[in-house]
């Protein structure tokens, strides 16, 4: 859970800076930091990917996982859920900006390979390095988000804690049922996905 706790703290710190700076955070500085963190994602992904012993299994997993992900379309479902909540709050005349900041940040921080694979890796091996890298990304992003959308972004730390923490605890529970070979292949697949994030 250490990686998730650091992630939550990074979001809190980023939001605090965002509230202080408001719209004064230089866009060029933010861009440089995000580019550097993108390169760091490439490095982390490569380190994980080279652990593969069976490259055909890794390729098969990527293809099947991609097809299933496209069929299920989880991301679109989450976006529709977020839009429904937005409309509900709008109709109740609640602070629209607060809800927008909360939902936008929650979706961004929870949906993605780094959140899932980082939490799984920490649960299986006790190594939180992916979540540490994600913490830097989320911390910087939360500065810009909070400056633009307000304090609602701060509360996105709650779903991040529940989501990533839950995955880590579940992974820790099933660890004894997975062989080292399976864990290596899962790590390699996650590394390739994270490597792709670096190019994004």
Range of the domain at 46: 2-199
Alpha-carbon Rg for the chain, nearest whole angstrom, is: 18
Q: What is the predicted pLDDT for the residue at 34?
A: 64
Predicted TM-score (pTM) of the model is 0.67
| Rounded Cα gap, residues 192 and 199, in angstroms | 11
* Residue ranges in the chain modelled with pLDDT below 70: 23-25, 30, 33-34, 37, 41, 74-75, 77-79, 81-96, 111-112, 194, 197-200
pLDDT digits (tens, 9 = 90+) for 131-177: 998 999 899 888 888 887 778 888 889 989 998 999 999 988 887 77
Distance between terminal CA atoms of the chain?
27
How far is the CA of 101 from the CAs of 89, 145, 158, 166, in angstroms? 13, 7, 13, 23
Q: What is the predicted pLDDT for the residue at 82?
A: 59
H helix count then E strand count, the chain: 9, 0
Please give the tally of structural domains in the chain.
1
């Amino acid at each position: 859970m250490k990686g998730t706790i650091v992630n939550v703290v990074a979001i809190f710190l980023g939001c605090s800076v965002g509230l202080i700076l408001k719209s004064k955070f230089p866009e060029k500085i933010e861009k440089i930091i995000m580019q550097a963190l993108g390169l760091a994602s490439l490095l982390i992904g490569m380190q994980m990917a080279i652990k593969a012993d069976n490259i055909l299994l890794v390729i098969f997993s990527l293809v099947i996982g991609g097809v299933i992900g496209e069929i299920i379309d989880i991301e679109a479902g989450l976006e529709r859920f977020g839009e429904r909540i937005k409309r509900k709050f709008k109709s109740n005349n609640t602070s629209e900006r607060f809800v927008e900041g909360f939902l936008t940040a929650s979706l961004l921080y929870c949906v993605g390979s780094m959140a899932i694979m980082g939490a799984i890796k920490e649960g299986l091996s006790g190594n939180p390095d992916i979540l540490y890298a994600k913490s830097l990304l989320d911390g910087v992003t939360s500065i810009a988000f909070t400056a633009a959308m307000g304090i609602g972004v701060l509360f996105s730390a709650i779903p991040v804690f529940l989501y990533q923490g839950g995955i880590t605890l579940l992974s820790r529970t099933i660890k004894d049922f997975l062989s080292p070979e399976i864990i290596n292949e899962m790590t390699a697949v996650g590394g390739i996905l994270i490597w792709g994030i670096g190019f994004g």
